[in-house]
Amino acid sequence: MNCNIAVIKGDGIGPEVVTQAMKVLDAIGVKYGHTFCYEQLLMGGCSIDVHGVPLTDEAVERAKANDAVLLGSIGGNTSTSPWYKLPPDKRPEAGLLKIRKELGLFANLRPAYLYEQLKAACPLKEEIADKGFDMMIMRELTGGLYFGSRKTEEIDGVMTAVDTLTYNENEIRRIAIKGFDIAMKRRKKVTSVDKANVLDSSRLWRKIVEEVAKDYPEVTYEHMLVDNCAMQLVKDPAQFDVVLTENMFGDILSDEASMITGSIGMLASASLNETKFGMYEPSGGSAPDIAGQNKANPIATILSAAMMLRYTFDLDKEADAIEQAVKQVLEEGYRTCDIVSEGTTLVACDEMGDLIKERI
Ligand code: IPM
Ligand code: MG
């Protein structure tokens, strides 16, 4: 199979971790007879430095012309980087929001899974970690507070800022359908997370989720308030299968879920539209504090490449091979610095990439 992939290495640790994922993909290509053709594009701070904007229209067109996008990370230190002196719509994050919107990537899948081998890196109590967990956070990605109108102005001498949280029923329905579809392939449970005791948008969310649930009689579903969900994630994460939620709640809960897997460097993600097209990226940020030091954990990016094989290219066997290789390397005791613990072997970012590649 010939796979055309737009590669956006981005800023910070992005280039280091994406390079490892490309190595692993190339090993898959050799073993299973596929060709991966990469087209490198700029987004984020590196695009600002070259073009003055975080994402050009041409880069969007090029991304669309490929089958999928493999992304590293964008952005820098928000207090020291000159990128954050620019108006908000010219900053690195604006590029990420633009590409999500332009490509219609409304469904963000973030699998949080506790590897047996990483129980020591899990910050939860031993009796909780021992039960393990395996959940899929389904985050709505192109609506809500991130895309509502906003402004900051002085009203009667008082500085006032407004952000708007809007969802229409169609936006809720399409992500709910994706959530229930995914649940059907997993343990058939959906926890829909909202703040329906306060927000109108959440009350509509709940109503639409209930309608969609009627079409999936085999799936058990429940509603959970977002504050309770944040608590349940550290109290009893094993209870969750699919966690279905809106954009900002999903942003926050997925960072929390990643931390209990041992490190944010372990959390892969896929952002999908109605077609097979997808954008695949680690859920963590650009980590400017460790950028360029060959310290970053490339596993989330490598697992994101596996998701790309599974969801865009339907190459399940190949995706399994990557996931298996990651498991094996962890079993053999290799760890990057974010997940290292007593009795394990510390390796650099590129060594971790090589170890996984060699086990394909
Ligand atoms: C994420 C990130 C982004 C988001 C930022 C960089 C805009 O935190 O993908 O979770 O909030 O969506
Ligand atoms: Mg986030």
Catalytic residues: 146, 195, 227, 251, 255
Angle between helices 299-311 and 14-32 (to 10 degrees): 50
Q: What is the mean pLDDT of residues 82-86?
A: 97
What pLDDT score was predicted for residue 360? 97
- Give residues whose Cβ lies within 5 Å of ion ligand 2: 251
Compute the distance from residue 191 Cα to the ligand 1 centre, in Å.
22
Domains 1-105+274-360 and 123-260 share a fold: yes
Higher-scoring residue by pLDDT: 205, 259 = 205
CB atoms within 10 A of CB 88: 10
Ligand 1 atom nearest to 247, measured from its CA: 12
Chain segment 216-252, per-residue pLDDT in tens? 999 999 999 999 999 999 999 999 999 999 999 999 9
Compute the distance from residue 253 Cα to the ligand 2 centre, in Å.
9
Compute the distance from residue 251 Cα to the ligand 1 centre, in Å.
6
What pLDDT score was predicted for residue 271? 98
User: Would the pLDDT of 260 be above 90?
Assistant: yes
What pLDDT score was predicted for residue 100? 98
Ligand 1 atom nearest to 254, measured from its CA: 10
Determine which residue's CA is closest to atom 5 belonging to ligand 1: 93
Distance CA 72, CA 7 (A): 8
What pLDDT score was predicted for residue 294? 98
* String of DSSP letters for 7-70: EEEESTTHHHHHHHHHHHHHHHHHHHT-EEEEEE---THHHHHHHSSSS-HHHHHHHHHSSEEE
Distances (CA, A) of 155 to 88, 145, 297: 21, 22, 47
Can you say how many angstroms the Cα of residue 70 is from the centroid of all Cα atoms in its chain?
11
Domain coordinates of the chain in residue numbers?
1-105+274-360, 123-260
Topology of domain 1-105+274-360, CATH: Isopropylmalate Dehydrogenase (3.40.718)
Q: What's the predicted TM-score (pTM) here?
A: 0.95
What pLDDT score was predicted for residue 103? 98
What pLDDT score was predicted for residue 256? 94
Q: What is the mean pLDDT of residues 161-175?
A: 98
Q: Is 251 in the pocket of ligand 1 (CB under 6 A)?
A: yes
Distance CA 131, CA 237 (A): 9
Mean pLDDT of the chain, nearest integer: 97
Ligand 1 atom nearest to 255, measured from its CA: 10
Task: For a ligand 1 pocket test, name from 73, 96, 99, 246 the mutation site with the most ligand atoms within 8 angstroms of its C-beta.
Answer: 96
Q: What is the mean pLDDT of residues 186-207?
A: 98
CATH for 123-260 (3.40.50.1370, 3.90.550.10, 3.40.50.720, 3.40.718.10) = 3.40.718.10
User: Hey, is 206 helix, strand or coil?
Assistant: helix
Ligand 1 atom nearest to 281, measured from its CA: 9
For residue 284, what pLDDT band results from cuts at 50, 70 and 90?
confident
Distance CA 215, CA 328 (A): 39
What pLDDT score was predicted for residue 128? 96
Angle between helices 226-235 and 247-260 (to 10 degrees): 10
Chain segment 48-68, per-residue pLDDT in tens? 999 999 999 999 999 999 999
Distance CA 195, CA 42 (A): 37
What pLDDT score was predicted for residue 68? 98
User: Hey, is 279 helix, strand or coil?
Assistant: strand
CA 49-80-71 angle, to 5 degrees, is: 50
Compute the distance from residue 284 Cα to the ligand 1 centre, in Å.
8
Q: Is 246 in the pocket of ligand 1 (CB under 6 A)?
A: no
What pLDDT score was predicted for residue 243? 98
For residue 202, what pLDDT band results from cuts at 50, 70 and 90?
very high
